[in-house]
Structure formats: structure tokens, C-alpha cells
Amino acid sequence: MRVKPDAALVHTRYMLAALISPQVRQLTAQSVKGVGRPRINLGTVRGIPLPLPPLGEQVRIVAALDHAVSLGARAVHAAVASQRRAAGLRSAILQAAFQPPAAAHAS
């Protein structure tokens, strides 16, 4: 199914965000038919209630979503880097703990 909203009324990324929101997904999950190949009919899609604020507000909502996603991506990146650093430190600590002591130099 292809949807092309009127650009004068709906910001496409706002519409996407609204359609994948937990509320809409929960609502449409009740209308899905089929097990092996789940599908939803066009009448149900046309009946999905979407909040439609003014276009300027939609743009602000999309910008806020972009900012939140960016913050989330940075947090994931920082967590992965910290996890790698911790694994490296653990490895170094274990290596130092199980390495035989250095032989004393005879003078």
C-alpha cells in the first residue's frame, strides 16, 4: 500500500511517526488478519485516527523526534564505547594477575 499525503496539510515524516506510534500500532494490531502473511485492509487503514496539528507544529514535532533519536544514538554509541573499554581493562587486569612475576635482576 502506498500513501501520499497532501504536503500542504501533512509533513510526511510526522505522518510516519504517527503511524508507527505505539498507540496506532496497538489499534491496528487488533485488525490484522492472517498468520503466515499478516495483512490489514485498506478500509482499516483509512479509518486510523491520526492527530493532525497545524503544519508548523508537525515540523516542530519532527525536529523534536530527530533530536531525541540523535540523543539516543549518541547514548548507545557511548555505551558501546564504554563496554569495549571495560572489556579491554578486564582483559589487561586478568593478564596482569596471571602473568608470572618478573625475575629479579642479580646485581
Query: In this predicted model, what pLDDT tens digit does every residue of 27-77 receive, in sequence order?
Result: 888 888 877 888 888 888 888 888 899 999 999 999 999 999 999 999 999
Q: Let me know if residue 23 belongs to a domain.
A: yes
Residue 11 — very low, low, confident or very high, per pLDDT cuts 50/70/90? very high
Task: Examine the pLDDT at 104 and tell me if it is beyond 80.
Answer: no
Q: Let me know if residue 5 belongs to a domain.
A: no
pLDDT at 50: 87
Query: Among 55, 48, 67, which residue's Cα sits nearest to residue 12?
Result: 55
Q: How many domains does the chain have?
A: 1
Q: Quick check: 64 and 11 in contact, CB under 8 A?
A: no
Share of the chain above pLDDT 90, in %: 47
Query: What are the distances in angstroms from CA 87 to CA 52, 58, 91, 93, 99?
Result: 48, 43, 6, 10, 18
- pTM, two decimals, is 0.64
What is the extent of the structural domain holding 51?
12-95
